[in-house]
Chain A
Amino acid sequence: MTQQSLRRYRRGSTREAAAAYLFVSPWIIGFVGLTLGPMLASLALSFTDYNLVTTDGTSFVGTSNYREALLDDPLVIASVKVTTYYALLAVVLDLVVGLALALMLNTGLRTIGTIRTIYYLPAAVSGVAVSLLWLWIFQPSGGLANGLLDLVGLPEIDWVYSTTWVIPAFVLMSLWGVGRSAFIYLAILQRIPTNLYEAAAMDGAKPMRRLFRITVPLVTPAIFLNLILGLIGNFQTFTQAFVISEGGPANASLFYTLYLYRNAFRYFRVGYASALAWLLFALLLGLTLLIFRSARHWVYYEAGGPGAKP
């Protein structure tokens, strides 16, 4: 390369780098201004007693917000329990039902286009209107849920007005959208080469064995992704809890985000709410890392199965 063309190449790539950063700049501004900055601000606030209304007397309080949350506030423990119970139940059922549906869809249904549309419909609707619909469905008298229980001769349930059933009711509501997961799994199932099954069948492997030896391992990367995104997503449950049960009855549906919202915007305890936010962040980060670390034992990568070293 001559000196001149080298210089032109370098100038070109400098120009390219400048263009690249110009294109990415909206995201950088957003990330610094609306993610990184606020995150650090909330970390700093979590060590103060900052109050949204009486802002003049803010002082540094050390770790007392964290100590209060972890040791002295029974509602934090309660909301962690409620949220974890919901998140685990919702994620596991989504996984099991979604995968089962995908396996059944994969056996070759003719009218799959229509079926697909119907199963995806819940993904297009959400929020307050849907929460109101489910609030109506779960009305003990006149609601659809108890109407169906009546129809098959089962006893009625108080659903969102019962401490026992409010979380299962929310899980049922989340399961309405299981079609989305089913079609994610289906897309993967359809990429599994047929000859794997043919070979296994020739070796005399029974259907159940083929399921757990071929299908499930090949779907584990998607399960892994769904597990992480599902946990994070479910830990942010807010609208349903706010609209349907308002955290009740007796705090039985006091989701973590709802409690955080109340602390910040109803009790105006910004410092405490910031500590709650960081505790949640730490918890989710811990869970995510745990799932990541466990991945090599059960997530199958094509090189040679779980735990395979390159």
Chain B
Amino acid sequence: MASAVDTLGPRPTGRWARRLSALVIVAGAVAVLLPLAWMLTTSLKPESQVFRTPIEWVPTTVRLENYPEAVTLIPFWRYALNSLIVSVPVVIGTVVSSTAVAYAFARMRAPGLRWLFLLVIAGIMLPGEVTLVPSFLLYKELGWVGTYLPLTVPAWLGGGAFNIFLLRQYFLTIPREQEELARVEGHSFLSILFRVIIPQSWPAISVVAALQFVDVWNDFLGPLLYLTDQNRYTLPLGLNFYKDIYNTQWAHLMAASLLALLPCIIVFFMAQRAFTQGIVLTGRR
């Protein structure tokens, strides 16, 4: 996968086609950045200048106060803390359980295991709507509605079909010799997983962790169904709840939204390689 960046591969095109391509690609990159730039510039404008036409890319007056105001207009830090309270156990649970499950599927032999793996793959294609309502009833029966448990516990139960698939494919690329040596020395599977497999798998594990963090941090439907108490709202829920209060105050709303996205953008830049490779590897959405 790493060669994707460095080797340029076949170039069945002439010089002019190449120049035109470069132009289109750069124009496309600008187009991708426009919405985010618009978000940033709006967040720095006084509300009175937000609606000006023709559009102003550079605010005539920069108003940094939008940010401190935005985080006090709604209990922003409370929501951010709640988002963290959900995200951390979800990311840890996903990594731990998908690593264990993927390792079994990659290396162990047991009757029926191949069939189970096919079920994992089939699960990727299952639309989430089908289980939406009965899962809610299940959590209601357990008395979990209104708590973080329906959002966090499932991550510990397998960690998602995509992640299992991704890690299994990665484990398959690790040479078996070291493991076999460790087996002969009498190490258990668990100890092999920790001594041999995991130390070599950090690239794949960080893919899983980064993608999962972004997913859970931005999740809306789950919190919408299960969080009833406003003090427990996560950021997406809080932002949506205060959409109507902010409504015409786009500068403040964009400031709050940008702050809410910041952790994802930071994770993206930190784990950029992992991120892009993980998406290419699985076609994950």
Give A residues with C-beta under 8 Å from B: 13, 16-21, 23-24, 26-31, 33-35, 37-39, 41-42, 45, 101, 103-109, 112-130, 132-134, 136-137, 139, 141-142, 144, 147-148, 150-151, 176, 179-180, 183-184, 186-187, 189-194, 196-197, 201, 207, 210-211, 215, 222, 225-226, 228-230, 232-233, 235-236, 238-239, 242-243, 256-257, 260-261, 264-265, 270, 273-274, 277-278, 280-281, 284, 288
Residues B104 and A194 in contact, CB atoms below 8 Å apart: no
Write the B41-58 contact mask toward A (1 if CB under 8 angstroms, else 0). Answer: 010000000111111000
4 smallest beta-carbon distances between A and B, as pairs:
A30-B157, A127-B218, A27-B158, A142-B51
State A148–B38 Cα separation when bound (angstroms): 12
State A112–B25 Cα separation when bound (angstroms): 10
Q: How many residues of B contact A (CB 8 A)?
A: 105
Residues B34 and A236 in contact, CB atoms below 8 Å apart: no
Nearest B residue to A108 by beta-carbon distance? B8
Pull 27 A–B residue pairs with CB atoms less than 8 Å apart, ordered by A.
A21-B104, A23-B103, A24-B100, A26-B159, A29-B157, A30-B154, A101-B28, A105-B21, A109-B22, A125-B265, A126-B218, A128-B257, A129-B239, A132-B257, A137-B35, A144-B38, A151-B54, A176-B35, A183-B4, A184-B279, A189-B9, A191-B9, A257-B129, A261-B221, A264-B133, A278-B130, A284-B127
- Min Cβ gap B208→A in Å is 14
Give B residues with C-beta under 8 Å from A: 1, 3-5, 7-13, 17-18, 21-22, 24-26, 28-29, 32-36, 38-39, 42, 50-55, 97, 100-101, 103-105, 108-111, 113, 116, 119-120, 123-138, 154, 156-159, 164, 188-189, 214, 217-221, 224-225, 235-237, 239-240, 243, 250, 253-254, 257-258, 260-261, 264-265, 267-269, 272, 275-276, 279-280, 283, 285
Residues of A near B129 (CB, < 8 A) are 236, 256-257, 260, 277, 280-281
With A124-B268, A228-B125 given, can you name 20 additional A-B contacts, CB distance below 8 Å?
Answer: A26-B159, A35-B123, A37-B138, A39-B130, A104-B21, A104-B24, A105-B21, A106-B11, A120-B272, A127-B236, A129-B235, A130-B218, A133-B254, A147-B53, A150-B53, A151-B54, A184-B283, A207-B12, A226-B283, A238-B220
Most buried by B among A183, A187, A196, A197: A187
